[in-house]
Amino acid sequence: MEATTITKQGAATAPYYLPQSDECSVFAAAHQNGLPVLLKGPTGCGKTRFVAHMAEKLGRKLYTVACHDDLAAADLIGRYLLKGGETVWVDGPLTRAVREGAICYLDEVVEARKDVTVVLHPLTDDRRTLPIDRTGEELVATPGFMLVASYNPGYQNILKTLKPSTRQRFLSLEFDFPAPELEVDIVTQESKLDRETVKSLVRLAGKLRALKGQDLEEGVSTRLVVYAATLIAQGMSVQRAVQTAMIEPLTDDDDVKRGLQDLVVVVF
Ligand code: ADP
């Protein structure tokens, strides 16, 4: 089964999101014109938060699907299920979004099985249709429907990149870790930790990211910096919080870990 989260329209206020550039206006223009958007960027840099924020601002319900290598088209479209002795059709999250004029966000879309991209094609051109073979329906997307997908170009192997025929159907927005002064604002806001300590954590994050491609496969995410800051704000020592949130998640190699700890000493 797919992991789907549904965010209801009209909840209190939009989740906090600090823009890195003009991504909010580009997304709004794409939505207004019914164009699909691909968000590219490393894990934990704010893509999911951005979509949640925009869905709320645009007054659209959001269906988020965390894609994985077992996710098939039927998980998105729907299937017949046995209910009280009867077989009934149950819409999947993509079908619901198409019917309701909602936003459907496919997180890490390259992880999904190949048949998923086939389903997306007629939805991502001017037909904006979703054929449902099982029921014989061909749904035309309700105005307001928008398809958003994300992927991390960094760590996929060659077999797991998006085919040009798929990626050329989406507008693309590139995301990266926020610039230091923005990241300090984000982490302070999310964790409520004092700004000076946050500044040091962000400085450390910058040093760790500089090691990407040498000792580390991926740089530390903003998500992990927020985790470290949250632990410190709740009373954990800086050393312990950084170890758990910003070093252990990055590597299993003891030598590399020792090298990273040396960086911590330099920064704090
Ligand atoms: P992704 O979807 O890119 O993996 P998320 O959207 O889940 O990453 O971001 C991880 C966390 O980082 C969020 O929960 C939030 O705390 C923080 N974050 C990152 N960028 C921003 C931003 N621009 N504004 C607000 N919070 C952010």
Ligand 1 lined by 228 (C-beta under 6 Å):
no
Compute the mean pLDDT over every residue in the chain, rounded to the nearest whole number. Answer: 92
- Quickly count: other Cβ atoms within 10 Å of residue 66's Cβ: 16
Ligand 1 lined by 53 (C-beta under 6 Å):
no
From the CA of 41, give the closest atom in ligand 1: 3
Instruction: Give the per-residue pLDDT at 87.
Output: 94
Choose among 147, 73, 148: nearest CA to 112.
Answer: 73
Instruction: Give the per-residue pLDDT at 214.
Output: 86
The answer to whether the CB of 37 falls within 8 A of the CB of 78 is: no
Identify the band that residue 3 occupies on the pLDDT scale cut at 50, 70 and 90.
low
Assess whether pLDDT exceeds 60 at residue 8: no
Instruction: Give the per-residue pLDDT at 157.
Output: 53
Mean pLDDT of 186-213: 96
**Please, which residues have CB within 8 angstroms of residue 184's CB and are 6 or more apart in sequence?**
195, 198, 199, 202
24 vs 27: CA distance, rounded Å: 5
Identify the band that residue 2 occupies on the pLDDT scale cut at 50, 70 and 90.
very low
Dihedral angle at the C-alpha atoms of 216, 217, 218, 220, nearest 10 degrees?
-20
Structure confidence by residue, pLDDT tens digits, 150-175: 988 876 555 567 888 888 999 999 99
User: What string of DSSP letters covers 147-213?
Assistant: EEEEE-TTT--GGGS--HHHHTTSEEEE--PPPHHHHHHHHHHHH---HHHHHHHHHHHHHHHTTBT
| Pocket perturbation via mutation, ligand 1, pick of 7, 43, 223 by most ligand atoms within 8 A of CB | 223
Beta strand pairing status for 103-107 and 62-66?
parallel
Assess whether pLDDT exceeds 90 at residue 44: yes
Instruction: Give the per-residue pLDDT at 143.
Output: 96
Choose among 71, 47, 81: nearest CA to 223.
Answer: 47
Assess whether pLDDT exceeds 50 at residue 1: no
Which pTM value belongs to this model?
0.93
Ligand 1 lined by 178 (C-beta under 6 Å):
yes
Helix (H) or strand (E) segment spanning residue 3: strand 3-7
Instruction: Give the per-residue pLDDT at 29.
Output: 98
Mean pLDDT of 14-24: 96
Q: Which residue has the tokens 């704000």?
A: 233
Ligand 1 atom 24: residue of nearest CA: 17
Ligand 1 lined by 219 (C-beta under 6 Å):
no
Instruction: Give the per-residue pLDDT at 208.
Output: 95
Instruction: Give the per-residue pLDDT at 4.
Output: 74
21 vs 18: CA distance, rounded Å: 9
From the CA of 16, give the closest atom in ligand 1: 25
Ligand 1 lined by 16 (C-beta under 6 Å):
yes
Mean pLDDT of 199-218: 92
How many angstroms is it from 148 CA to the middle of ligand 1? Answer: 16
Ligand 1 lined by 190 (C-beta under 6 Å):
yes
ipTM of the complex: 0.99
Choose among 242, 30, 5, 222: nearest CA to 104.
Answer: 5
Ligand 1 atom 26: residue of nearest CA: 17
Ligand 1 atom 23: residue of nearest CA: 18
